[in-house]
Structure 1
Amino acid sequence: MAEPEPTDLLLSSLRQLETVLGRSPATDYTDGHARWDLYRAVTAVPEGHPILFRAICCERDASLAAGVVGSLLERLAPEERNAWVQALDPSVRGFSVRRVQELDVLEAVTSRNLTAHEARAAIDEWSDWLQLRVIAASDDTDILRLLSEVGRTKRIRNTALSSLS
């Protein structure tokens, strides 16, 4: 079953994104795969982000929009992330809400604004992704030691232990 034709506003945004990327106009954006390809390419081009935001706001495929936002969150300034998450349909926000929270924790750890004591109180709520990212990004030996002792998986504990060496 074919997807519905993009709205005029979405189509206008898609054409502008093509211009940002220097691409020739695509003939069919009813295919979500074509939109995904365009969106993903623009995530690496910060000057295209305002146009991408407009496109995401009128994207009819909520799952597609959520995938794009999820892939973009790490590239955004912390103060911009919530606007992107709020642009998503509430039914698909869960992953992105969680990822923003995890990125906030990761940034608190790497800027040394989160102590090992505070981390111990919250670590059970940290996803495997977050625990591994903290290990890769942090040089805080107290937090690394904590993860080597109570990390969720053997892999996490061993990775943290190796980072201490």
Structure 2
Amino acid sequence: MNRHNAMRDEPAEHLRFAACLSELEQVADADEADLVGAVLTDPDQAMAQSAVLRHLDRRATDLHLGPAYERWAESMTQATTRHPLLVRRLQEWTLFRAITLRQSWRPDVLLASSDWLQRKAAAASNADAIEILAERGRTKRIRNTARTSLKHQRSR
């Protein structure tokens, strides 16, 4: 089967998902919130939110350690305000940023966070967060990841 036939056989939502990701990867900073809002108007909300979630993760990975993160996160929170999953992911990125930069954060908030954030924090470099997760992380996988991270930190 050639590429043209494969694309023709691809479900419409897969093609829209790929198109959304491509647009989001190329959007100018000034137009980002508007494009996120436009993507979230797609009738296939699972596809739209998945595309935006992937975009938020990509951008937050690039921005979370720098000063531009706060303004970006605020703008994205406004653009996603009607989508609790996306708002929560942004909140968790903000918590991860605080943990990573050793800013103020609360252990109870980390323990109430998603498995995604707990796994991410368990593999990070903040010993306080890792110790909490090694002891009280939600899943065995999170606790084991945190224990392994602690062993690596102590062996350095």
| TM-score tier after normalising by the smaller chain length | 0.5 to 0.7
Overall identity of the aligned pairs, in %: 29
**Aligned: 1:66 with 2:49:** yes
Distance 1:60 1:46 in 2: 18
- Per-residue CA deviation, residues 68-105 of structure 1 (Å, 9 max, x unaligned), is 22111123353223434443583xx0110110110000
Amino acid at match of 2:135: E
Distance 1:65 1:82, change over 3 A: farther
TM-score under structure 2 normalisation?
0.68
TM-score under structure 1 normalisation?
0.64
5+ unaligned residues in a row in structure 1: which ranges? 1-30
Contact 1:57 1:87 in 2 (8 A): no
Distance 1:124 1:57, change over 3 A: same
Aligned counterpart, 1:43: 24
Distance 1:147 1:60, change over 3 A: closer
5+ unaligned residues in a row in structure 2: which ranges? 1-11, 64-68, 152-156
- The 5-angstrom pairing of residues 74-89 of structure 1 reads 74-76=57-59, 77=63, 78=69, 79-88=71-80
Count of aligned pairs: 130
Across the aligned residues of Structure 1 and Structure 2, the Cα RMSD in angstroms comes to 2.9
Amino acid at match of 1:142: D
